[in-house]
Structures are given as C-alpha cells and as structure tokens.
Amino acid sequence: MMKTAAGILFSLFFILAISGWALAQDSTALVTDSIVAVIPASATNVVAVNHKYDDGGALDITWNKSIDDPDGILGYNIYRSTSDTDFEQIASLLPGETSFADDKVENGLAYVYRIGTIGETGEGMSESSTPAMADWEFFNFGMLNVLILAFIVCGAVIGFIISAKSGRKLFIRKIGGLEALEEAVGRATEMGRPILFIPGILDMDDVQTLAAITILGHVSRVVADYDSKIKMPVSRSLVMTTARETIKTSYMTAGRPDAYNDEMVNYVTDEQFGYVAAVNGIMVRDKPATCLYLGAFFAESLILAETGNSIGAIQIAGTARPGQLPFFVAACDYTLIGEELFAASAYLSGDPKQLGSLKGQDVGKFVAMAAMVIGTLAITMATAWNIESMQGLLDIMLKIFSTN
C-alpha cells in the first residue's frame, strides 16, 4: 500500500515537472517574439538634394517617417557616408521629423545618407539615398520679388532725377519749419541778437547729426547774407570741426570770408547735462532771437525748449526720436518730425539729384503703405468672413512681399 502511494506521488511530480518545462519554453518564445516586435519599421524614400540658393556646403535630406512613428519609436538617427559602406552618425532627431539640413559637407563631394529608426531594443535602418553633391548658385530666384521691387524704386528715383534735370518742377510738400528759417534769421538780424544753433548731442556717426549739419550750411549762408551772428555750442569735438568748416564755406560762398570767426562754434563738454547747463547759460545771458534744435536729443530736449521759450525766442526744432517730439511740439514754434529732418537737404538745396531721390523714395513708401492696407483688408476679410477671393489675394501678397 505504501509503495503504491509513493508511486502515485512520484508520477504526479513527474507530470508537473514536464508541464513546467513546457510552459517555460512557451514563455521564452513569447518573450523572443515580443523583442522582435519592438524593433521599429525603417523610414522610407530617403532623398538627399543640394540646398537651394546658397554658396554651397549644405544638403537637404528628407524621408517618409516610419509607420511606427510616433508611438513605437524613440527618434531617428542620421547617418552619412561618401562610399555607401562606412556610415557615421551625424545627428539625432525626435519622432515626427521628416527632414534634416546637413551644413557640414564639402562642395563637389558626393554623399549618401541613411535614416536609422530608433526603438527600445533595436534600430531599423533605411535604404541608402542616391548620392547628392553640394554646389553654389549664382542667382537666388527665391528673392526675385525683392529684385523687382528694387527695380521699381530705383527706376522711380532715376526717372525723377532725369525729370528734375530737364527743368520740370517736382512737387515737394512745404515744410513749415524750413520755410520759416529765413524769417527767423531776419528777425534776429533786425533785433541785433544772435542765432543759437544746437546740433543735438551725438557725434558725426549719427545720421541726425549729419542732417543737422546739412541744414546748418543753409542757415549759415543766410546768416552771412544778412550779416547776422550765429553761435553754436557743441558737445562733440568732431562736430565742432565739421561745423566750423561748414560755416566757413558758407561765408566764402556769400563773398564774406573775412566775417567768419572760429569762435562761432565752441566745444563745451561731452557730458550731457553739463552741456545743457552751459547752453542754458548762453540763452539766459545772450538772449538769442532764434533757437534751432536740430539733431538727436534725449532728456535735455524739454529743458532746452522751455528755456528758449522763456526768453521769447523763435524756436525751430527737429529730431527723429519719437520720445522727444512731444516736448518740442509743445514748446517750439515749428517742429520737423522724423523724415522731414532728413528731407531738409533736398528741400533747401533744390538739387535735381536730391529732389529726384526724395521723390523716388516716396514711390517706395507708397508701395509699402498700399501693401500694408491691402494686406490688412485681405487677411481681415478672409478670416472674419471666409471670402475665398480675399484668401487668394492674401496668398499673392505674401508671395510678392515675402523674403523667405
């Protein structure tokens, strides 16, 4: 009886052992199958082409993403070779990417690319791309629209210059501040008091200072003709030298070189408020009949203008700094706003080249303003009312004025 029971137990133990071994084999097979399954599908249709409109040294690579992207992959590896055998990894990208710009290649050398699709336990490798070679292009056709616009503006400038040289009078809107210059100089002459000219507080490398010196040339010629006096304290030594030469030339043009004196222009200091204090002292002591503030101004603008207003002077100001314009407008008789300051040289000289350039620039500004108005209306109507024709117009505008 004991032998029979032992035999039965042994048989049961043997059967359980065999069953456990079989289950272990099945589990191993399942794990193996799962490992094979996580290796992602490779990317397809890998294409390498020369990067357009550059000086060479770059290739663009594109591909169709893996069918396991994005859930079944960790990203992409970019491989490059010059022989289609020894590939080196040059970059790694996140899932979802389908393009890469390789800007570290040599012109005239053919390159082949592969895309590795990264999985948790392996990497699926794509087929090699066809060989591609980097090269440079002489002309960027993507910027053709900009070239056409440049031709339009330049053509307008040349056309207006030719028209002005032929004797045709070009219409230029009158600028009150410039029209009043002779009147202001004449008033100072009648009162026997000087004219104070302030060219801002920046050096000759600032375009506003250059514009001020240009206006100074016209003012000093009128001063020389009227036998009046001009005072010009400056805060930069180079501005002093330039201003002296400008005034000296004006006096020579007027036929009165002996009336010129270097003391008409004086250097004060580079320090902002030290300079302002000195100028205010000159105003209070000499009481000039006319004060001209033309150039780049900062916090000192209101201080100067208020002091000039307190002595009863005619004040003409001009600057391209928007933050200072309200102070000049409030305290001065005339104010040149922004581009009026830069247009002064053409306005005062009447030179055909300058007038033609000024009118040609106006054409460019008109084109820009028209584009902004039309573009704003088009995008508003296309978005708010879903008008297809306006969307088409917007697309055309983007193609014409885009620089990408």
Reported as a single tens digit per residue, the pLDDT across 25-80 is: 554 444 444 444 568 888 999 999 999 888 888 999 999 988 888 888 889 999 99
Residues whose CB falls within 8 Å of the CB of residue 367, separated by 6 or more in sequence, listed in order: 149, 152, 153
Contact 335, 322 (CB under 8 A): no
pLDDT over threshold 80, residue 313: yes
Q: What is the pLDDT of residue 22?
A: 46
In 3-state terms the chain splits into helix, strand, coil percentages (rounded to 5) of 50, 20, 30
* Residue 3's pLDDT band (cuts 50, 70, 90): very low
pLDDT of residue 34: 44
Question: Which CA distances in Å does 383 have to 319, 380, 388?
Answer: 40, 5, 10
238 & 106 share domain: no
CATH number of the domain within which 327 lies = 3.40.50
How many whole angstroms separate alpha carbon 202 and alpha carbon 176? 25
Point out the domain boundary residue: 276, 297, 332.
332
How confident is the model over 110-159, as pLDDT tens digits? 999 999 999 888 888 989 899 999 988 888 787 888 888 889 999 999 99
Answer for the pair 80, 87: CB distance below 8 angstroms, yes or no: yes
Q: What is the CATH number of the domain that holds 112?
A: 2.60.40.10
The per-residue pLDDT for 38 is 63
Burial class (CB in 10 A: 0-12, 13-18, 19+), 152: middle
Cβ neighbors of 258 (< 8 A, separation 6 or more) are: none
Q: How many domains does the chain have?
A: 2
Residues 313 and 187 in one domain: yes
Partners of 316 in beta bridges: 292, 334
Domain match, 226 and 318 both: yes
Point out the domain boundary residue: 303, 332, 361: 332
Per-residue model confidence as pLDDT tens digits over 355-400: 888 888 889 889 889 999 999 999 999 888 888 888 889 888 888 8
Which residue in 40, 33, 36, 46 sits closest to 118, CA to CA? 40
How far, in Å, CA of 404 to CA of 164, rounded? 37
Residue 13 has pLDDT above 70, yes or no: no
Please list, in sequence order, all residues whose beta carbon lies within 8 angstroms of the beta carbon of residue 292, skipping any fewer than 6 positions away. 184, 195, 196, 197, 198, 215, 219, 315, 316, 317
Domain boundary among 294, 312, 332: 332
**pTM, rounded to two decimals:** 0.66
Say yes or no to pLDDT of 8 above 90. no
Q: Report the distance separating Cα 42 and Cα 152, nearest Å.
A: 51
Q: 3-class DSSP state for residue 197?
A: strand
Domain of residue 71, residue span: 44-133
